[in-house]
């Protein structure tokens, strides 16, 4: 059996550049789209994946069985309304409850920035109504629930295709998904985090042993220093700037990292009794915190335990930001959206504060190529905007890796948890993925792929074949071999009956009975002449001793009537007079014991050794 993976192709994707996720998996005859992200670095049609890859005309309905969205970040779900409403898809879309709640808000937010503020034409971008219509197609899933995928236009579930969500950390509601078709399976991680942070827990998965693990590898080669050190570092830098009277800009996304940093600053302000104001941009703040309150079961243990007494998401020191505060004198800390400085308020604040060297911008997350965030992080200090205006960046630029992705250690840990047969790295950078893939192959002995944008990968799976084994057969074998002994393999012999679609393993005699077959017994009786000049009784005794010495693992019995039984082989003296030098022996055995029978024939024809004592 074969599993195809098609990486959705963006018109100008340069190799494995990060920034958006959209993967098409074909497994056991089912087609599943994993995430439907947009490329945040582009403002033209290049931001959307090229769906003509799937079909040149018509909707995607006939080509997809379901869509799975791992979390609410736009590089994972930003293209969803475009795909469902503009390209056309009416089948099921699966995501967790928090993702379903938050995703439309971020989509609307992004739509506003793109269409309303940049004045882009409505025709090329999705509308508010499209976001709503798209979200109606979403089926929310709970963690660990086994979801049988619904079939479009049929009031029935697909009993071959099932999915299961696991906690992924990263952001509120982020999930990893196990997709199973028959005995083949794939795990798709989306973005995940293997260490608990201030508001989220660590990702977890059971030993589901998928045929393929598709894991993100944003931090493929980074092994981040301890969380505490990074937090101390962050607080120190903010504090120093404030002391100097400078302003701190922290570009964030409204939900996720922002809440963690707010908790961090809130407690620090409290402890240090700092008076400088902390602002949070956009009207989303209140709402965002409300989501965290209602989805508290998705946060970490500590917050969940204490939420009845104290809600961690009600901040005392953090106030709403107003555009007019940009020019306010004196120190302040501003959380502004969006997080990669590519549009909106964060970019506006940045443009104002960048020329002053007292100020600082802290980039707490990854920035995709093409964004202002990416440029300043790469040391570019002169930034040219669309209107040809050049901005000189004199403010301090700091990068704090707060982004909750798994680092190399975390990725290895996840592989250890779920024990995949193959691994595929996505959402990372080429060289880093190359390095990590070698390490994975070395440590786990599994194949590791890291395909480029638009590439198709085929993975062969070789599943076991399930069979109904008769309990009687299993029990009979067990009674013969006794309790398990790790050193002794248990050999099972039976007959496999193949009838229509069923495979049943039963005992051969049961198979005969069931199939109405009449067993045909075959028996052989041969004569061997042995030279032994003594009474035949003595010869039989000598023979018996000889056989016992030679055939150690067979049951050898000297029967009262003078014959010898070796397993089911019978040896008997055939009528000869007492004193004769030679004696005729009849050797008789059924076909089942053919090997032993012919072995005995060979043995007996050699005669008795002289040394054998009676």
Query: From CA 39, how far away is CA 570, in angstroms rounded?
Result: 82
Closest C-alpha among 124, 112, 35 to residue 74: 35
Q: Is residue 369 within the footprint of other proteins (CB under 8 A)? A: no
Q: Is residue 594 within the footprint of other proteins (CB under 8 A)? A: yes
**Cβ of residue 350: shortest distance to other proteins, in angstroms?**
30
Looking at the Cβ atoms of 96 and 453, the one nearer to other proteins is 96
Is 334 strand, coil or helix? strand
**Cβ of residue 342: shortest distance to other proteins, in angstroms?**
27
**Cβ of residue 346: shortest distance to other proteins, in angstroms?**
24
Looking at the Cβ atoms of 116 and 286, the one nearer to other proteins is 286
Extended strands (E) in 195-346 = 212-216, 247-251, 278-280, 318-320, 332-336
Looking at the Cβ atoms of 124 and 527, the one nearer to other proteins is 527
Looking at the Cβ atoms of 271 and 487, the one nearer to other proteins is 487
**Cβ of residue 25: shortest distance to other proteins, in angstroms?**
22
**Which residue from 287, 352, 358, 558 is in contact with other proteins, where contact means CB under 8 A?**
287
Cβ 497 vs Cβ 463: under 8 Å: no
Residue 411 gets which letter from DSSP? Answer: H
**Cβ of residue 287: shortest distance to other proteins, in angstroms?**
6
Site string for other proteins, 446-465 (x = CB under 8 A): ----------------xxxx
Query: From CA 381, how far away is CA 550, in angstroms rounded?
Result: 90
Closest C-alpha among 21, 301, 20 to residue 167: 301
The size of the interface with other proteins (CB under 8 A), counted in residues, is 83
Looking at the Cβ atoms of 200 and 341, the one nearer to other proteins is 200
**Cβ of residue 520: shortest distance to other proteins, in angstroms?**
5
| Ranges within 60-119 binding other proteins (CB under 8 A) | 97, 100-101
| Ranges within 403-442 binding other proteins (CB under 8 A) | none
| Ranges within 296-315 binding other proteins (CB under 8 A) | 296-297, 307-308
Query: From CA 497, how far away is CA 473, in angstroms rounded?
Result: 13
**Which residue from 283, 329, 445, 486 is in contact with other proteins, where contact means CB under 8 A?**
486
| Ranges within 165-224 binding other proteins (CB under 8 A) | 206-207, 209
Query: From CA 218, how far away is CA 108, in angstroms rounded?
Result: 26
Looking at the Cβ atoms of 30 and 100, the one nearer to other proteins is 100
**Which residue from 471, 561, 606, 611 is in contact with other proteins, where contact means CB under 8 A?**
471
**Cβ of residue 167: shortest distance to other proteins, in angstroms?**
11
Looking at the Cβ atoms of 208 and 391, the one nearer to other proteins is 208
Cβ 160 vs Cβ 30: under 8 Å: yes
The active-site residue out of 85, 216, 260, 398 is 216
Looking at the Cβ atoms of 385 and 591, the one nearer to other proteins is 591
Q: How many CB atoms lie within 10 A of CB 507?
A: 17
Q: Is residue 557 within the footprint of other proteins (CB under 8 A)? A: no
Q: Is residue 159 within the footprint of other proteins (CB under 8 A)? A: no
Contacts 24+ apart (CB under 8 A), 585-590: 585/527, 585/528, 585/529, 585/530, 585/543, 586/525, 586/526, 586/527, 587/525, 587/526, 587/527, 587/528, 588/523, 588/524, 588/525, 588/526, 589/523, 589/524, 590/521, 590/522, 590/523, 590/524
Looking at the Cβ atoms of 296 and 459, the one nearer to other proteins is 296
**Cβ of residue 537: shortest distance to other proteins, in angstroms?**
22
Looking at the Cβ atoms of 388 and 487, the one nearer to other proteins is 487
Catalytic residue flag (residue 216) = yes
Closest C-alpha among 141, 181, 177 to residue 161: 181
Query: From CA 337, how far away is CA 323, in angstroms rounded?
Result: 12
| Ranges within 488-527 binding other proteins (CB under 8 A) | 488-500, 504-505, 508, 511-512, 515, 517-527
Q: Is residue 294 within the footprint of other proteins (CB under 8 A)? A: yes
**Cβ of residue 553: shortest distance to other proteins, in angstroms?**
5
CA 580 to chain centre: 81
Task: From 20-28, 383-391, 406-414, 590-598, give the range in contact with other proteins by CB under 8 A.
Answer: 590-598
Cβ 184 vs Cβ 28: under 8 Å: yes
**Which residue from 118, 144, 232, 302 is in contact with other proteins, where contact means CB under 8 A?**
144
**Which residue from 283, 483, 560, 575 is in contact with other proteins, where contact means CB under 8 A?**
483
Q: Is residue 290 within the footprint of other proteins (CB under 8 A)? A: yes
Task: From 241-249, 269-277, 396-404, 481-489, give the range in contact with other proteins by CB under 8 A.
Answer: 481-489
Q: Is residue 592 within the footprint of other proteins (CB under 8 A)? A: yes
**Which residue from 528, 544, 564, 569 is in contact with other proteins, where contact means CB under 8 A?**
528
3-state SS record for 308-319 = CCCCCCCCCCEE
Burial class (CB in 10 A: 0-12, 13-18, 19+), 570: middle
Query: From CA 525, how far away is CA 391, in angstroms rounded?
Result: 104
Residues 6 or more apart whose CB falls under 8 angstroms from that of 229 comprise: none
Kind plus residue range of the DSSP H or E element containing 159? strand 157-167
Q: How many CB atoms lie within 10 A of CB 2?
A: 11
Active-site residue list: 216
């Amino acid at each position: 059996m074969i599993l195809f993976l098609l990486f959705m192709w963006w018109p100008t994707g340069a190799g494995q550049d990060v920034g958006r996720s959209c993967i098409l998996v074909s497994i056991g005859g089912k087609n599943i789209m994993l995430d439907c992200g947009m490329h945040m670095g582009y403002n033209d049609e290049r931001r959307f994946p090229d769906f003509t890859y799937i079909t040149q005309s018509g909707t995607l309905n006939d080509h997809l069985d379901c869509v799975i969205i791992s979390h609410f970040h736009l590089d994972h779900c930003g293209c969803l309304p475009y795909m469902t409403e503009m390209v056309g898809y009416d089948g099921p879309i699966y995501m967790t409850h928090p993702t379903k709640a938050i995703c439309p808000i971020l989509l609307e937010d992004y739509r506003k920035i793109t269409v309303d503020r940049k004045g882009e034409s409505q025709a090329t971008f999705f509308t508010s109504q499209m976001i709503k219509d798209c979200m109606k197609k979403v089926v929310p899933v709970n963690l660990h629930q086994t979801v049988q995928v619904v079939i479009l236009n049929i009031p029935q579930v697909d009993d071959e295709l099932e999915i299961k969500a696991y906690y992924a950390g990263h952001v509120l509601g982020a999930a990893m998904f196990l997709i199973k078709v028959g005995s083949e399976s794939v795990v798709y991680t989306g973005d995940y985090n293997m260490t608990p942070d201030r508001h989220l827990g660590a990702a977890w998965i059971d030993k589901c042993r998928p045929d393929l693990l598709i894991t993100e590898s944003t931090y493929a080669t980074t092994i981040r220093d301890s969380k505490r050190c990074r937090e101390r570092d962050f607080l120190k830098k903010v504090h120093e700037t404030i002391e100097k009277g400078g302003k701190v800009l922290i570009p964030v996304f409204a939900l996720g990292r922002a809440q963690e940093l707010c908790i961090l600053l809130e407690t620090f302000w409290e402890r240090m009794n700092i008076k400088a104001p902390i602002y949070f941009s956009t009207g989303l703040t209140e709402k965002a915190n409300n989501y965290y309150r209602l989805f508290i079961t998705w946060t970490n243990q500590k917050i969940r335990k204490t939420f009845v007494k104290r809600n961690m998401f009600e901040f005392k020191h953090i106030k709403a930001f107003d555009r007019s505060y940009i020019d306010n004198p004196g120190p302040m800390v501003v959380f502004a959206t969006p997080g990669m400085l590519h549009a909106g308020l964060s970019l506006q604040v940045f443009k104002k504060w960048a020329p002053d060297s007292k100020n600082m911008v802290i980039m707490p997350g990854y920035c995709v190529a093409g964004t202002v965030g990416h440029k300043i992080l790469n040391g570019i200090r002169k930034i040219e905007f669309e209107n040809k205006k050049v901005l000189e960046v004199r403010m301090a630029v700091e990068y704090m890796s707060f982004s909750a992705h798994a680092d190399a250690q975390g990725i290895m840990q996840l592989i250890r948890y779920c024990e995949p047969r193959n691994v595929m790295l996505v959402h990372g950078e080429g060289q880093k993925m190359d390095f990590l893939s070698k390490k994975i192959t070395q440590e786990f002995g599994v194949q590791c792929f890291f395909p480029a944008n638009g590439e198709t990968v085929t993975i062969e799976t070789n599943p076991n074949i399930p069979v109904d084994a008769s309990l009687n057969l299993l029990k009979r074998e067990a009674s013969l071999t006794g309790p398990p002994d790790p050193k002794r393999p248990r050999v099972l012999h039976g007959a496999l009956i193949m009838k229509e679609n069923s495979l049943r393993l039963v005992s051969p005699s049961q198979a005969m009975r069931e199939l109405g077959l009449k067993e045909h017994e075959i028996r052989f009786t041969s004569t061997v002449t042995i030279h032994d000049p003594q009474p035949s009784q003595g010869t039989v005794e000598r023979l018996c001793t000889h056989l016992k010495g030679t055939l150690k693992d067979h049951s050898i019995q000297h029967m009262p009537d003078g014959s010898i039984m070796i397993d089911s082989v019978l040896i008997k003296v055939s009528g000869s007079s007492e004193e004769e030098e030679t004696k005729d022996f009849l050797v008789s055995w059924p076909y089942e014991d053919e090997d032993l029978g012919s072995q005995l024939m060979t043995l007996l024809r050699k005669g008795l050794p002289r040394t054998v004592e009676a």
